[in-house]
Structure 1
Amino acid sequence: MPIPTATPITVKPLKPHGDSTRGIAYMAGGMFLFSAVDTQAKFLTDSLHPVQIVWSRQLGLFLGVLILIALRGVSVLHTRKPLLQIGRGVLAATSATLFIVAVSYVPLADAVAVSFVAPFIVTLMGALILREPVGIRRWVAVVIGFAGTLIVMRPGMGVLHPAVGLVLVAAAAFACRQVLSRALSGADPVQTTVAYTAIVGSALLTIPLPFVWQTPQMGLEMVLLVSIALMAAVAEVLVIKALEVAQAVVVAPVMYSLLIWGTFYGWIVFGDLPDLWTWVGALIIVATGVYTLNRERLAAKRT
């Protein structure tokens, strides 16, 4: 997936430890809300097109940005890194769309487990694109983490729908988006990043919208679409704030709470529970992911 790299990506350093408590709280709240959004989106895929659902998800953020611009003026859109801002908006729309398409076919908890390859993709991106040093231990963790993903997916065994492959692509887009979030945190204020994410994502999703639009027929559908829009907007801001006030290696492990909420919502709403091998694979992914993040934290301390 192309990332704007015309100039080197530089990140303004945070305080030595940042505000870890606040960052963890922001990230935890964001993951809780994103899980609720994904659950409602999966429910709606029975009657509405995924693109329409993701567009509705972006709508709340977009309307909030219009209000922000009306109050503070177009200076909100001033950015030092326009290509990175546009790229983040494209990645946000892409990852959300692919994930919702995938969960229309596969259980929510299984999709969440596979999406946890994102931290390993960040490691690969750091080594191959940003030329960051990666030691043998972290490479081993990456290999083991991908092995855990294969256990969850069990390709060729017909255990999961082929659409789970879309989750891998969505995870790659999400990983790229997280890298851009950190790159932008020292260059632009949070409201600018939110504004570009909302505007670019909404514009991109509006293009195919007339071809897939279905007027909601039930009051419940309208309520869920509004709920998705509001929750996703708040969750987006919380994640950006988490990466702004605390080190990524501190708050990133909180992302794994998605598995807890995804399993809980999947069981309560859809009656889905992961099988034994999915749990085994998910635990391997989580363990190696936390190990990788811990190695990054130790490396950051040494520097």
Structure 2
Amino acid sequence: MTTSSSSDNLRGAALMAGSMACFTMNDTAMKALSDELPMFQAVFLRGIATSAWMYLLARALGGLRFDFSRRDWTLIAVRNVAEVGAAFFFVSAFFNMPIANATAILQAMPLTVTLAGALFLGEAVGWRRLSAILVGFAGVMLIVRPGGEGFNHYSLYALAAVVLVTVRDLLSRQLSADVPSMTVAFFNAVSVMVFFGIGSMFIEWRPVSGLAAMQMGLASVLLIGGYVFSVSAMRVGEVAVIAPLRYTNLLWALLLGFVVFGDWPDRLTLLGAAVIVATGIYTFYRERNLRRAPPKALRVR
């Protein structure tokens, strides 16, 4: 590995860790609003602030451009649809279940990215990594436990978010280098704002207290960091190196869920989360080792 690639990997890992911290703290701030404001109103108001800050930041940094190819515009449009769907399902989930549980289910996403790469991008996945993916999904079932006494159908919303975030991240890697990450993040914010704004037209709005306004302001700033860091991380360095840093958001969710809401997952949920994380890390490092192996070794999986 060259010095340049090592530097890119280190930068990508730092960006991914920062993204996970921002997203999880944003989720915590928004969940704190769930008893005071309806979801569509809260996310729409946050979206206004996020979009405005994102626009100003992109203009200041010169990262706002619109002269893209038709292919990039199509990718951005489809990516925005996936982002909107993921936002709806995941926000719905953590508004109605412990944030650590919803976040634990989201940990399956790196496994789904590997599987999707094999199915749709023609990437080779041997029996070891396929077995790890299947074991990881068994861990998801330990968390969701469909039909169980504590089953919450919002767990299925979190699973839907996993699928849509997988689509979003695969599309991110297909964008050309000419598309600034700030522009992609800005379109993300605007798309989510518009969707939840339309949805908020069909609900009864509630008064916004000073505390709620502060929480939404904080969430909007954190969301900007999450968007920018996430898009940048997926376009820097090797996925096998930076993707395991996604699991740091589970640590944040466990800590913040306990400190802020007094929630702590049961043993089966923690076991399921541990299985997902272990299989995910194995998958990433297996992929990394295969990429470093000589051509003949690649045939043996």
Q: Which TM-score applies when normalising by structure 2?
A: 0.88
Structure 2 counterpart of 1:148, which letter? G
- Alpha carbons of structure 1 residues 273 and 72: separation in structure 2 relative to 1, 3 Å: closer
Task: Note if contact 2:16-2:233 (Cα within 8 Å) is conserved in structure 1.
Answer: yes
Distance 2:50 2:82 in 1: 15
Matching residue of 2:49: 60
Distance 2:273 2:154 in 1: 18
What does the per-residue CA deviation read over 1:72-110, in whole Å, with 9 as the maximum and x for residues that have no partner? 899712223111101222222221221111112211111
The answer to whether the aligner puts 1:42 opposite 2:31 as a matched pair is yes
Unaligned segments of structure 2, at least 5 residues: 296-301
Task: Note if contact 1:106-1:160 (Cα within 8 Å) is conserved in structure 2.
Answer: no
CA RMSD, aligned part only? Answer: 2.2
The answer to whether the aligner puts 1:31 opposite 2:29 as a matched pair is no
Query: Paired residue for 1:77, among 47, 58, 66?
Result: 66
Task: Note if contact 1:50-1:97 (Cα within 8 Å) is conserved in structure 2.
Answer: no
Query: Paired residue for 1:247, among 238, 249, 252?
Result: 238
Task: Note if contact 1:26-1:241 (Cα within 8 Å) is conserved in structure 2.
Answer: yes
Task: Note if contact 1:145-1:284 (Cα within 8 Å) is conserved in structure 2.
Answer: yes
Unaligned segments of structure 1, at least 5 residues: 1-14
Q: Which moved more, 1:264-273 or 1:70-79?
A: 70-79
Matching residue of 2:101: 110
Distance 2:128 2:59 in 1: 51
Task: Spell out the pairing of 1:130-141 with structure 2 (5 A cutoff).
Answer: 130-141=121-132
Distance 1:20 1:301 in 2: 15
- Alpha carbons of structure 1 residues 295 and 187: separation in structure 2 relative to 1, 3 Å: farther
Task: Note if contact 1:216-1:222 (Cα within 8 Å) is conserved in structure 2.
Answer: no
Q: Which moved more, 1:111-120 or 1:72-81?
A: 72-81
1:211 deviates by 1.8
Matching residue of 1:258: 249
Task: Spell out the pairing of 1:252-291 with structure 2 (5 A cutoff).
Answer: 252-291=243-282
Q: Aligned pair count?
A: 289
1:61 deviates by 3.5
Matching residue of 1:294: 285
Matching residue of 1:10: none
What does the per-residue CA deviation read over 1:38-76, in whole Å, with 9 as the maximum and x for residues that have no partner? 111111111222222332343333113433576689971
Matching residue of 1:20: 9
Moved over 6 A (4+): 72-75
Structure 2 counterpart of 1:194, which letter? A
Distance 1:261 1:298 in 2: 29
Distance 1:68 1:259 in 2: 29
Distance 1:125 1:267 in 2: 34
Task: Spell out the pairing of 1:122-133 with structure 2 (5 A cutoff).
Answer: 122-133=113-124
Distance 2:89 2:288 in 1: 31
Distance 2:133 2:64 in 1: 42
Task: Spell out the pairing of 1:178-197 with structure 2 (5 A cutoff).
Answer: 178-184=169-175, 186-197=177-188
Q: Which TM-score applies when normalising by structure 1?
A: 0.88
Identity %: 33
Task: Note if contact 1:50-1:101 (Cα within 8 Å) is conserved in structure 2.
Answer: yes
Q: For 1:184, what is the secondary structure of its paired residue?
A: coil
What does the per-residue CA deviation read over 1:106-152, in whole Å, with 9 as the maximum and x for residues that have no partner? 11111111111111211221122222221111110111000011111
- Alpha carbons of structure 1 residues 213 and 125: separation in structure 2 relative to 1, 3 Å: farther
